[in-house]
Structure 1
Amino acid sequence: MANDVNRLIDMLYERIEDAKSPALKPNMSMVDRDELLDLLDELRAQLPVEIKRAQELLSARDKFVEDAKRDVDRMMRQAELDAKTKVSDSEVLYAAKEKARQMVARAEERCRQLYQVTNEYAEDALARTEEAVQMALDEVKQQRVRFRSASAAKMQEQRDKLDGRTPPQEDGGEE
């Protein structure tokens, strides 16, 4: 149809260019009026179809552009949402790693403190135990000395008895 319209316009140009000029009016041309009117009628008949087709193409183009804009807007919103989600995920991951690092640092510090307190407690307990054992050993040594002394005295007394040398009894008793 576009070719029909272009063909009709070309035919009009040819007729006008081929038209003869009257002798006294060189800027004017004489054409077959009926022939040109027939071409214009045919052109007029074709133009609404072409215009309608052009309008449909423009409408289709506008719809395509609107759909494309909507798709681009939707893709941009989705991309922004994805980017925000990734940034958010990244921030959450960073925050989690930082919190984990802080927890590990606190646990290590607490472990060092507990180790130090435990060592101090064990050292103190061992020192007290050593003192108690030393005091008990000193007591045992004193008791041993007393025991030896008492035992030696008793043995001497027994020997004296056996030898007949009985020392006088203190309770004023018999013998």
Structure 2
Amino acid sequence: MSSRIEQLIDEIETYIDNCKYQPFSNTKIIVDKEEIDELLRELRMKTPDEIKRYQKIISNKEAILNDARAKAEALINDATIHTNELINEHEIMQQAYAQANEVVTMATKQAQDILDNATIEANNMRSAAMQYTDGILANVENLLTQTMKTTQDHYDSFISSLNQYNDVVNANRVELNPPEPDTIVEDPGAAQSSSEDLNLDMI
């Protein structure tokens, strides 16, 4: 059974897939801001709960190990008690010690096997939970990146349109109110020609 956060990601992906493309574009889409904000808001609210749930699974590793340690200690205690009973009940001390050592060795091996298996199981659970959580966060990251890119593209397009409109308005104002020249500048070529004629007359 999938979690609510997975369902939300699927809903957002489906929503994005169903959005219409902008005119003359195969990559930019038109989104309903309120609808996408609502989906993202719920995703943001659900994500901490999902992560806490998987953190709880990871924390169960310690409970498994503690239970294994308790079982191992119980086995060793039982073996020690049995050893003492063998020593007290048997007249041949060497046989009693041999049997006791064998029991302790077997109990220790069983205890180690329990700890090893418990450690492997706990590590597997922790690894699976971390991979699953990381996968969810990766999907969220990809979704947020795509959303931010789409928003930036819309913003850039909007600013470009405003600049174009502003240029048109400025041009229209200039046409309505052309600047009046403060002084009339004579043709520099004519002034130079007059000066040359005067010099020729003087010669």
* TM tier, smaller: 0.3 to 0.5
TM-score (norm 1): 0.45
Q: Which has the higher contact order (CA 8 A, sep 6+)?
A: 2
TM-score by length of 2: 0.39
Which of structures 1 and 2 has the bigger CA Rg? 1
